[in-house]
Structure 1
Amino acid sequence: MCGIAGLVVAPGQPAPDPALGHRMNAVIHHRGPDEGGLHHDDRALLGMRRLSIIDVDGGHQPMHAADGQVCIVFNGEIYNYRELRAGLEHDGHSFESQSDTEVIVQGYLRDGVAIFDRLDGMFAVAIWDRRTQELVLARDRFGEKPLYYTHDERRLLFGSELKTLLQSPDCPRDLDDDALRAYLAYGYVPCPHSVFAGVRKLPPAHYLRYRDGRASLHCYWRPSLGPKTTLGEDEAAEQLEELLDRAVASRLVSDVPFGAFLSGGLDSSTVVALMARHMDRPVKTFTIGFKEEAYSELDDARQVARHLGTDHHELVVEPDAVDLLHKLVWHFDEPFADSSAVPTFLVSELARQHVKMVLTGDGGDEMFGGYDRYLRLLKLERLGGLRAPGAALLKFAGGIAPNPHGERLSRVGERLRLPFDERYLSGVAVMRADTAHELRPQAGGARHFHLPALDQPDSHLGAGNEPLDRAVAIDLQSYLPDDILVKLDRMAMAASLEGRSPFLQPDLAQFALSLPTHYRVRGGRGKHLLRAVAEKWLPPRAIRKPKQGFAIPLADWFRGPLRTLAADTFASQAFRERGLMRPQAAQSLLHDHLERNIDRGEALWQSLCLELWARRFLDDPATAVDGGAACS
């Protein structure tokens, strides 16, 4: 796991300044504290910070081909690198290290950009090819590893984190209004947008070529949600067990100590159970909890840990909420309001005291229909044949029913009138449209719930007509890469920890997506087939445990440690003059919350994260250069 950054200039432009490369490297030191490197020539800067996991003594980057004409920097891990290496050696390629980085270099020399589709792993790659005077950027299938870029006819800047690009004084800094609108709806900025209009995120499963001042974007892989498997349930369960086992085993390749996050839920517990099958020593597992019992999964994790005989580590935390929030703002680079980032960061810090890499259960909900919102959507879609009369009836009922039931019925009626993507996304949004409009008038409008990413011509994922597939297709394009995987990458990397997600192994993921709805959702619960397979490894409580997710006591925090910070922020002159949100609306949210009229914790968290981000990255650009040292 590493961080990469760089610059390539078009022909005729001044040579890149190595000092810029050193600044870009320094600002992501937390992503790779073990070592750093920089390639510099008359057209290119390629830098990296390394967290050494495989071939600790070798595998140094930037890495060059034998003739020095091809240079690579690479962030991630390739799990099938040994198989790929054997094929390359058979074809006459020789190797000087044991690293997966060199496999990508040799694969590129043999196959060109076709090598990316052969990689099973998580990666963000930059290859400078002096033979063709071309820069190639690539990102893994599901977007586990981030990659930002900005370009024009003079140069292209790229980096693992947005703050690397901000080291260049000519990096665009005009805000993207679509990105801010989406942020208020969903709590994150969706790909390919970034918070700055002139900076983009490379989409998952894409590569980019930059040559002679021009860039072209290409998709090398698409997940498919059809056709559906014809296997019987017992046969499907047998195949699923084999694929799960293989995915976990492939992610145990490491030259450093490793472990796993364990919440006691189905996904992380399944991963730990399979790890235990392949290890000759107890799996190191890590769990954190809060003193508020409703937000703690310690008991569930303990039971699974005892059942599997793990070397279990847990911690009840009482974090400094203000200090922690400032750290999160720094590490995310963009406005990001998924509050489960807090426990993710804390458990990453705990794990890093013992190991350098962990396996996680991320991706299981998308692949196996585990989110509660999928269940709510399926209930809503059963009214599909009665959409127009159903919407009218619910609107009428909402007008006569007492609040809050009346409001809820009216909102369901409104959703029934929307096209499918907006109907689904309106149930996913973390901030209601009317609240977003009160805070920021530009956030309203008919397309409020539409993700900008869905406007891309290559946005379809081959989904069939089943509502669950259509919802999963949207999540694979947006929620998974732009929220779940961003949270894991930034929070783990903030602690200099690598996180691996077995559920995103391509063969396993594709098989899971081929399962018909009734293999994924049955009896009002998701993950039906996964539960059936995991029963042989896990205690009954882990199988039956309802979806909980990482949560924090936001409501209490805004009546306690975050109260003063929020009040002072929303009353400040800087907040008023910036104009990103209406001060009166933000103050009203806080007042309602403090008076216990309604829980406004999530909306307050979003609002505060946005303003603190603006102070850090807009008001004082110098802190975007060197401010991370205190927070890493």
Structure 2
Amino acid sequence: MCGIAGMVVSAGQRPPSAPLGRRMIDVIRHRGPDDDGLHCDEQAMLGMRRLSIIDVEGGHQPLYAAEGQVCLVFNGEIYNFRELRRELEREGHVFRTHGDGEVILQGYLRHGADVFARLDGMFAIAIWDRRSKDLLLARDRFGEKPLYYTNNARRLLFGSELKSLLQSTDCPRDVAPDALRAFLTYGYVPSPGSIFAGVSKLPPGHWLRCRDGRVELHRYWRPSLEAKTSLSEADAIEELAGLLDRAVSSRLVSDVPFGAFLSGGLDSSTVVALMARHLSQPVKTFTIGFKEADFSELDDARQVARHLGTEHHELVVEPDAVSLLHELAWHFDEPFADSSAVPTFLVSQLARRHVKMVLTGDGGDELFGGYDRYLRLLTLEQLGMLGRPAAAALRVAGALLPDPLGGRLGRIGERLQLPREHRYLSGVALMRADTARALHPEAGGDRHYHLPFLDEADADLGAGRSSLDRAVAIDLQSYLPDDILVKLDRMAMANSLEGRSPFLEPRLAGFALSLPESFRLRHGRGKFLLRRVAERWLPQRSLTKPKQGFAIPLAQWFRGPLRGMATDLFTSRAFRERGLCDYRAARALLDEHVSGRADRREALWQVICLELWAQRFLDATPAGN
């Protein structure tokens, strides 16, 4: 687990600067406090920070091959590296280390860019080949590890985090209007764009070649939702049980202490149960809770921990919301408004006191249909069959009835009037279109939902067009890589902790996506087949408890510890003059929320996260090259 950064310049340009390379890796020291390395030649600079997990003594990077002509740095873990190494050794490749990085490098010498499709892991890879003057960048299938880049005819900059690129004055710093509009809708900036125009995220499942200033993008993998399994329910249960067991066991490869996040819900509990089957010592588990009972899963986690005999660690937190928000803004690099980042940071902080790596349940909701919004979408589709009169009636009822019922009915009516392909996206938006437009005149509106991942989702679906599969395809293109996995990566790495997601093991994920709708949604609940498998390992409460999520008491905070902070921000001269959000609209949202006239928690959180990001990244003075 590391952070990487670097630069490649075109022939005839000024060579990359070693001091710049040092700044680019030093600013992400939290990603790898154990070691660092830097390669610099006439055209390329590649650097890394290392968190030692596998081959602690021998895993130093950069790694070299072909008499020093090929150089590699990478961030992540390759879980099938031992199998790949045996294949390469049979073909005559000689290894000097025991880690996974050299397997990638030797695999590149044997297979070229085809090596990326052979890797089971989470990774961001940079390979500089001095023989062909090629820089290759690659990112794992689901986007567990981040990779930013910006390029022009003279040079390409890349890094695990945007802050590395910002160490160079060559990095663009103009806010991208589409990215701002997307953030005000969804609470994150979708790939492949970034908050800065001219800076991109390498999409998951892609690799990039840069040669003499020319960039080519290639997709080596895409999820398939079209072909469905013909297995019986009983056979599917056994197949899934075996795949889950193999996925978890493959993620246990580590030379350092490790554990697991445990919420007491189905996904994390299943992972912990399978870990316990493979370990001779009790699994170290970690959970946090808030004093507000509605936002605490401590009792559920304790029950699972007792059932599985784990070494359980928990913490009831009263975070300093103000100081914590400033720290979170720094680590996310882009505006990011998923409020569950707060407990994710805190549980990572707790875990890091005991271990260097944890397993998580991330990905289970997308793959097995676990989100309640999937069920709401199917209900919406049934209402849509009634036609425009139903939509109009719901909007009228929404206008006549008091909140919260009136508001819900009105929003359902609004969604029914959208084109069918946009109904799901409108339901996952954090901010209503009218609120977004009040804050930013160009935000909101139907055209805002025309985001690139719609086209990619269509390609993943093939001929399949079920509402559930379409929603899952959209989440695999956007919500999973740009929200869920960003949150895990940045909050864990902020604490120098590695997080692994067994549900994203390729064979397990492929099987889950092949399940027909009836194996995912049944009896008004998601994850039907996963529950059938997990019932052999878990207590009944873990199988039946309502989905809670990693929520925090935002509504209370904005009437308490965050109220003063929000007031100061929205009345400041900098907020008003920067103009990212209309200060009068922001103050009106706060007044409505504090008075109890409306619940504006999500919109207020988005505006605060945007402003704190702007203070840290727009107001800062750029470093030199």
Verify the 8 A CA contact 2:391 2:414 in the aligned structure 1.
Answer: yes
| Partner of residue 630, structure 1 | none
Verify the 8 A CA contact 2:223 2:460 in the aligned structure 1.
Answer: no
Q: Distance in 1 between matches of 2:607 and 2:2?
A: 31
Verify the 8 A CA contact 2:358 2:500 in the aligned structure 1.
Answer: yes
| Partner of residue 260, structure 1 | 260
Verify the 8 A CA contact 1:128 1:134 in the aligned structure 2.
Answer: yes
Verify the 8 A CA contact 2:150 2:200 in the aligned structure 1.
Answer: yes
Unaligned runs of 5+ in 1: 626-632
Shift of 1:602: 1.3
Deviations 1:24-50 (A, max 9, x none): 010000000001000010000000000
Query: After TM superposition, what 4+ stretches of structure 1 lie above 6 angstroms from structure 2?
Result: none
2:40 alignment partner AA: H
Q: Distance in 1 between matches of 2:506 and 2:189?
A: 25
Q: Distance in 2 between matches of 1:433 and 1:165?
A: 33
| Partner of residue 613, structure 1 | 613
Q: Within 5 A, what are the aligned runs for 1:497-508?
A: 497-508=497-508
Q: Distance in 1 between matches of 2:6 and 2:21?
A: 6
Deviations 1:487-533 (A, max 9, x none): 00000000000000000000000100000111001111100000010
Q: Within 5 A, what are the aligned runs for 1:137-536?
A: 137-455=137-455, 460-462=460-462, 464-536=464-536
Deviations 1:310-341 (A, max 9, x none): 00000111111101000000000000000000
Q: Distance in 2 between matches of 1:190 and 1:228?
A: 28
Q: Which moved more, 1:296-305 or 1:384-393?
A: 384-393
Tell me the number of residue pairs that the alignment of Structure 1 and Structure 2 aligns.
624
Verify the 8 A CA contact 1:439 1:582 in the aligned structure 2.
Answer: yes
Q: Distance in 2 between matches of 1:616 and 1:25?
A: 19
Q: Distance in 2 between matches of 1:581 and 1:603?
A: 11
1:599 alignment partner AA: D
Verify the 8 A CA contact 1:463 1:470 in the aligned structure 2.
Answer: no
Q: Distance in 2 between matches of 1:404 and 1:99?
A: 56
Q: Distance in 1 between matches of 2:368 and 2:315?
A: 30
Q: Distance in 2 between matches of 1:11 and 1:140?
A: 30
Shift of 1:389: 3.3
2:611 alignment partner AA: E
Q: Distance in 2 between matches of 1:418 and 1:471?
A: 15
| Partner of residue 107, structure 2 | 107
Q: Which moved more, 1:520-529 or 1:441-450?
A: 441-450
| Partner of residue 132, structure 2 | 132
Q: Are the structure 2 counterparts of residues 97 and 129 from structure 1 closer, same or farther at C-alpha, using a change threshold of 3 Å?
A: same
Verify the 8 A CA contact 1:6 1:47 in the aligned structure 2.
Answer: yes
Shift of 1:227: 1.1
| Partner of residue 588, structure 1 | 588
SS at match of 2:215: strand
Q: Distance in 2 between matches of 1:142 and 1:462?
A: 19
Verify the 8 A CA contact 2:432 2:444 in the aligned structure 1.
Answer: no
Q: Distance in 1 between matches of 2:391 and 2:598?
A: 27
Verify the 8 A CA contact 1:282 1:309 in the aligned structure 2.
Answer: yes
SS at match of 2:618: helix
Verify the 8 A CA contact 2:458 2:470 in the aligned structure 1.
Answer: no
SS at match of 1:538: coil
Verify the 8 A CA contact 1:128 1:136 in the aligned structure 2.
Answer: yes
Verify the 8 A CA contact 1:286 1:312 in the aligned structure 2.
Answer: yes
Q: Distance in 2 between matches of 1:272 and 1:460?
A: 31
Q: Which moved more, 1:61-70 or 1:30-39?
A: 61-70
TM-score by length of 2: 0.98
SS at match of 1:153: coil
Cα RMSD after superposing both structures: 1.4
Q: Which moved more, 1:458-467 or 1:193-202?
A: 458-467
Q: Which moved more, 1:425-434 or 1:384-393?
A: 384-393
Unaligned runs of 5+ in 2: none
SS at match of 1:604: helix
SS at match of 1:37: strand
Deviations 1:128-149 (A, max 9, x none): 0011000000000000000000
Q: Which moved more, 1:487-496 or 1:561-570?
A: 561-570
TM-score by length of 1: 0.97
| Partner of residue 90, structure 1 | 90
SS at match of 1:150: strand
Q: Distance in 1 between matches of 2:169 and 2:156?
A: 13
Deviations 1:335-368 (A, max 9, x none): 0000000000000000000000000000000000
1:560 alignment partner AA: G
Q: Which moved more, 1:450-459 or 1:102-111?
A: 450-459
Q: Distance in 2 between matches of 1:580 and 1:98?
A: 50
Sequence identity percentage: 73
Verify the 8 A CA contact 1:425 1:450 in the aligned structure 2.
Answer: no
Shift of 1:396: 3.8
1:340 alignment partner AA: S
| Partner of residue 602, structure 1 | 602
Q: Distance in 2 between matches of 1:292 and 1:317?
A: 10
Q: Distance in 2 between matches of 1:446 and 1:317?
A: 40
Deviations 1:431-461 (A, max 9, x none): 1111111111111232123334435698544
| Partner of residue 74, structure 1 | 74
Residue 38 of structure 2 corresponds to residue 57 of structure 1: no
Q: Distance in 2 between matches of 1:287 and 1:608?
A: 27
